[in-house]
A and B are shown apart, each in its own frame.
Chain A
Amino acid sequence: MTADAPTRAAVGAAPVPHFDDPAYNTPTPLREAVVAIVTTAGLHPAGENGFRDQNDQSFRVLPADGRGLTSTHFSPNWDRTGLAADINVAFPIDRLHEMAAEGAIGSVSAVHLSFMGALDETMTTIRLDSGPAAAAVLRQAGVDIVLLTPV
């Protein structure tokens, strides 16, 4: 049995929100697009306001260089050593900058966001409050495409 099996089973069976007629937008061509990362790794700049408890549905703004980040994600059920060694395993900021330098993507957003996953409720606060607020931050930064990296 793999170490993740009990958690995969629990998460795989957990209730998920239902969306009627979800949106599916035509993306800006990747070579012209401003790309931002939104992760659920509970990341934030070290020394700043961490995630509070197991149902903290707020988000943190991450800097474009991705340096000095740590995680205060509440759940013990995922590996942190990869993240400690290489932030790109969940926050692939260096890879995006390389892709921008090659012209594979238009540019890297000046801001990125982190929520904390493994929330144990309906995520109503995200849907009604912090989600739209996060979208406003990305819109202000001129973001076209959002890369989602749940852990």
Chain B
Amino acid sequence: MEAEGFATVGLTLVRGQTERLQPPRALYCAFPLGRPLGGPGDPAFQRRVLDATFALLDRPAGPVLEDFPEVIDDEVDSPLACAVPPRMNRSDNPAVDEALALRAAYDRQLRASGRTMVGRQITADQVPTAVEAFTRIAGGAPLAEAGVEGEPVKTANDVRAYYEEAAMALEGHVPAARSAESWYFRKTLAGDAVRRAQRVLREGGGPNRLVAYLVPRSQLLP
């Protein structure tokens, strides 16, 4: 961009990479990955970040890499204390039943925010079926016969988004970064199924992209 004539100024969440890449102007923010401006719903904080970022444009020479003075920590071992609603129909696969039970919460969150990250591959209506498919893989079913709709990584990300957004409604606030993720993978049947499916694929020599992208690095089963 700079070579094309623009002046650029950026945020970075990974200082070591930026030290080596040496972009013209960068502000390192010790914030969770995914939140380069910091706190959701905190305009004053976001504005402080932007003011510090744009201030780098005043530096006479580059490359410039400075640190934002405020830090936001997140802890992987702090899943939300979010209760999963009672099952609707105990004759179903429990993981499917769980996904169905969270639909009302997901819908409330969608109405409140007007935005969803579900939709890469499947709709919210298809989440219970996807959960069932990952349960099959976790149980040893061949990937091709498990019934996963489309690209499994996208489908898994959709299931996770559905659960995380439902959790936001159940909690009534935006969770700390990664705590909804920890809740999903460690406290729900669907998340457990996806983790176990990833392990089955990993140990069985499954496709590299599934082994690498189905589950976050921080949530892999041994």
Contacts and interface: CB of A to CB of B under 8 A. Distances in A.
Contacts of B10: 147-150
B161 interface: yes
Contact of B117 (A19, A84, A143): A84
B93 interface: no
B168 A145 contact: no
B115 A84 contact: yes
Contact of A76 (B9, B62, B113, B156): B156
Contact of B46 (A11, A95, A138): A95
Interface residues on A, range: 35 or more
B74 A149 contact: no
A81 B168 contact: yes
A3 B216 contact: yes
A79 B218 contact: no
Contacts of B157: 74, 76
A86 B218 CA distance: 24
A92 B181 contact: no
Interface residues of B, number: 80
Given A5-B218, A7-B33, A95-B46, A86 B40 contact: yes
A16 B156 CA distance: 29
Contacts, number: 258
Q: Which of A16, A30, A83, A150 has the most CB of B within 10 A?
A: A150
Contacts of A33: 7
A135 B4 contact: yes
Contacts of B153: 54, 74, 76
Given A22-B63, A81-B180, A46 B119 contact: yes
A14 B164 CA distance: 29
B65 interface: no
Given A12-B14, A16-B17, A22-B3, A84 B165 contact: yes
A76 B216 contact: yes
Interface string B7-21: 111111111110011
Contacts of B180: 79, 81
Given A90-B36, A99-B50, A151-B33, A77 B217 contact: yes
A11 B12 CA distance: 12
Interface in B110-165: 113-117, 119-120, 151, 153-154, 156-157, 160-161, 164-165
Contacts of A149: 10-11, 36-37
Contact of A145 (B3, B6, B11): B6
Contacts of A98: 43, 47
Interface string A57-80: 000000000011111101111111
A90 B40 CA distance: 9
B57 interface: yes
A125 interface: no
B156 A24 contact: no
A61 B75 CA distance: 34
B33 to A, nearest CB: 4
22 contacts: A3-B32, A3-B75, A3-B181, A4-B178, A12-B15, A27-B9, A70-B119, A75-B213, A76-B215, A79-B177, A80-B34, A80-B164, A81-B168, A84-B113, A84-B165, A89-B38, A92-B46, A96-B50, A139-B5, A143-B6, A144-B6, A151-B36
